[in-house]
Amino acid sequence: MTDKITVEHLYKIFGPDPEEALALIREGLDKDEIFARTGNTVGVRDASFTVKEGEIFVIMGLSGSGKSTMVRMFNRLIEPSSGSITVDGRDITKLDEAGLRDLRRTTISMVFQSFALLPHIKVIDNVAFGLELAGMGREERRERALAALEQVGLAANAESYPDELSGGMQQRVGLARALAADPPILLMDEAFSALDPLIRSEMQDELIRLQEEKKRTIIFISHDLDEAMRIGDRIAIMQGGVVVQVGSPDEILKNPANEYVRSFFRGVDISKVLTAADIATKTQVTIIDKPEQGPRAALRLLGDFDREYGFVIGRGRRFAGVVSLASLEQARRDDAPLDAALMPETATVLPTAPLHELMGVVATSPHPVPVVDEQGRYRGVVSRTSLLQALDNLPAESAPVEADAVAPVAAAGE
Ligand X SMILES: Nc1ncnc2c1ncn2[C@@H]1O[C@H](COP(=O)(O)OP(=O)(O)OP(=O)(O)O)[C@@H](O)[C@H]1O
Site residues, other proteins (CB under 8 A): 75, 77, 100-105, 109-110, 112, 114, 116-121, 129-130, 132-134, 161, 177, 187
Give all strands (DSSP E) within 335-392, no chain letters. 369-372, 378-382
Query: Of other proteins, Mg ion, ligand X, none, which one does residue 114 interact with (CB within 5 to 8 Å by kind)?
Result: other proteins
The footprint of ligand X on residues 200-229 (CB under 6 A) is 223
User: Which of residues 110 and 273 has its CB atom nearest to other proteins in the complex?
Assistant: 110
Distance of CA 299 to the CA centre of its chain: 44
User: Which of residues 77 and 210 has its CB atom nearest to ligand X in the complex?
Assistant: 77
Show the CA angle centred on residue 80, arms to residues 211 and 6, nearest 5°.
45
**Nearest approach, Cβ of 193 to Mg ion (angstroms)?**
9
Query: Of Mg ion, other proteins, ligand X, none, which one does residue 49 interact with (CB within 5 to 8 Å by kind)?
Result: none
The footprint of Mg ion on residues 58-77 (CB under 5 A) is 68
CA distances from 343 to 22, 109, 311, 347 (A): 70, 57, 10, 10
User: Which of residues 134 and 353 has its CB atom nearest to other proteins in the complex?
Assistant: 134
User: Which one of 60-68, 155-163, 290-298, 351-359 is the stretch in contact with ligand X (CB under 6 A)?
Assistant: 60-68
Residues near Mg ion (CB under 5 A), total: 1
**Phi-psi region at 380: left, alpha or beta (left = phi > 0; alpha = psi -120 to 50):** left
User: Which of residues 134 and 277 has its CB atom nearest to other proteins in the complex?
Assistant: 134
Which position among 5, 21, 61, 331 is part of the footprint of ligand X (CB under 6 A)? 61
User: Which of residues 51 and 288 has its CB atom nearest to other proteins in the complex?
Assistant: 51
Q: Does 14 bind ligand X (CB under 6 A)?
A: yes
Which of 218, 254, 270, 266 has the alpha carbon at shortest distance from 59?
A: 218
User: Which of residues 231 and 299 has its CB atom nearest to ligand X in the complex?
Assistant: 231
**Nearest approach, Cβ of 67 to ligand X (angstroms)?**
4
Q: Say which residues have a Cβ less than 8 Å from residue 283's Cβ, sequence separation at least 6.
A: 398, 399, 402, 403, 405, 406
User: Which of residues 238 and 276 has its CB atom nearest to ligand X in the complex?
Assistant: 238
**Nearest approach, Cβ of 100 to Mg ion (angstroms)?**
22
Q: Say which residues have a Cβ less than 8 Å from residue 35's Cβ, sequence separation at least 6.
A: 41, 42
Q: Does 36 bind ligand X (CB under 6 A)?
A: no
**Nearest approach, Cβ of 83 to ligand X (angstroms)?**
16
**Nearest approach, Cβ of 171 to ligand X (angstroms)?**
17
**Nearest approach, Cβ of 110 to other proteins (angstroms)?**
4
Cα separation, 156 vs 320, in Å, equals: 51
Rg (CA), the chain: 28
- Three-state DSSP state, 24: helix
Query: Of ligand X, other proteins, Mg ion, none, which one does residue 112 interact with (CB within 5 to 8 Å by kind)?
Result: other proteins
Which of 40, 37, 1, 6 has the alpha carbon at shortest distance from 241?
A: 40
Which position among 26, 27, 36, 63 is part of the footprint of ligand X (CB under 6 A)? 63
User: Which of residues 68 and 157 has its CB atom nearest to Mg ion in the complex?
Assistant: 68
Which position among 38, 65, 75, 126 is part of the footprint of ligand X (CB under 6 A)? 65
- Length of the chain (residues): 414
- DSSP assignment of 188-242 equals EESTTTTS-HHHHHHHHHHHHHHHHHS--EEEEE-S-HHHHHHH-SEEEEEETTE
- Three-state DSSP state, 385: helix
Q: Say which residues have a Cβ less than 8 Å from residue 111's Cβ, sequence separation at least 6.
A: 171, 174, 175, 177, 178, 186, 187, 188, 189, 191
The footprint of ligand X on residues 39-58 (CB under 6 A) is 41, 43
User: Which of residues 14 and 161 has its CB atom nearest to other proteins in the complex?
Assistant: 161
Cα separation, 76 vs 226, in Å, equals: 29
**Nearest approach, Cβ of 65 to ligand X (angstroms)?**
4
Query: Of ligand X, Mg ion, other proteins, none, which one does residue 14 interact with (CB within 5 to 8 Å by kind)?
Result: ligand X
Give all strands (DSSP E) within 200-358, no chain letters. 217-221, 234-239, 242-247, 286-288, 309-313, 319-324
Query: Of other proteins, Mg ion, ligand X, none, which one does residue 35 interact with (CB within 5 to 8 Å by kind)?
Result: none
Query: Given the rule CB under 5 A, which residues bind Mg ion?
Result: 68
- Site residues, ligand X (CB under 6 A): 14, 41, 43, 61, 63-69, 223
